[in-house]
Amino acid sequence: METFKGHATALVADVDCTAAGKALCDANGVKGYPTIKHGDPSSLEDYTGGRDAESLKKFAEENLKPSCSPKNIDLCDDEKKGVIEKYSVMPIDDLEALITTEEKKMEDAETTFTDEVSKLQAAYEKLSKDKDEAIADVKSSGLGLMKSVKSFRAKSATGSDEL
């Protein structure tokens, strides 16, 4: 944070999501700690790069700068300018409805993921239990004695009386 203190276009800060920053963290989808976010404050993105100081500094130097947005339209290509213009003239109620629809898609994707992972976890637990039971059945069927008899016979055939 010290490296970017007072920077004209970049802010590097920490937020305690368990205390005063909880509302901010909830609003930005922070579910685990530590979480690193970057981008436009109204549309933060997850950081997925390295967590060491050198990787973070390199990412910040390369990415924490003004980017295409309604505030910095001059940094946008023609396609993005067109999309921003489309949303800028859209009635606010329609824009809010569109945002709600898109956020619902993300929530649905998260729900599907969570549900499917739960199914995988249940399947894993069943397979693990089945494997443990199969191994226990094999061991209780006399496998140890079979191995002992085989070893005894092999040693008997060679004349060795050691166990």
In a domain, residue 51? The reply is yes
**The predicted structure's pLDDT at residue 80:** 95
**The predicted structure's pLDDT at residue 105:** 96
In a domain, residue 29? The reply is yes
**The predicted structure's pLDDT at residue 2:** 79
Are 62 and 2 members of one domain? Answer: yes
**The predicted structure's pLDDT at residue 97:** 98
Could you state, in chain order, the average pLDDT of each consecutive group of 10 residues for the chain (163 residues)? 75 84 86 82 84 87 83 93 97 97 94 96 97 94 92 84 56
Give the count of domains, the chain.
2
Are 45 and 95 members of one domain? Answer: no
In a domain, residue 73? The reply is no
Question: Domain residues for 28?
Answer: 1-66
In a domain, residue 103? The reply is yes
In a domain, residue 83? The reply is no
Label each residue of the chain as H, E or C. Answer: CHHHCCCCCCCCCCCCCCCCCHHHHHHCCCCCCCCCEECCCCCCEECCCCCCHHHHHHHHHHHCCCCCCCCCHHHCCHHHHHHHHHHHHCCHHHHHHHHHHHHHHHHHHHHHHHHHHHHHHHHHHHHHHHHHHHHHHHHHHHHHHHHHHHHHHHHHHHCCCCC
**The predicted structure's pLDDT at residue 161:** 57
Are 100 and 61 members of one domain? Answer: no
**Residue that terminates a domain, selected from 51, 66, 81:** 66
**Residue that terminates a domain, selected from 13, 32, 66:** 66
pTM assigned to the model: 0.57
Are 108 and 59 members of one domain? Answer: no
**The predicted structure's pLDDT at residue 132:** 96
In a domain, residue 12? The reply is yes
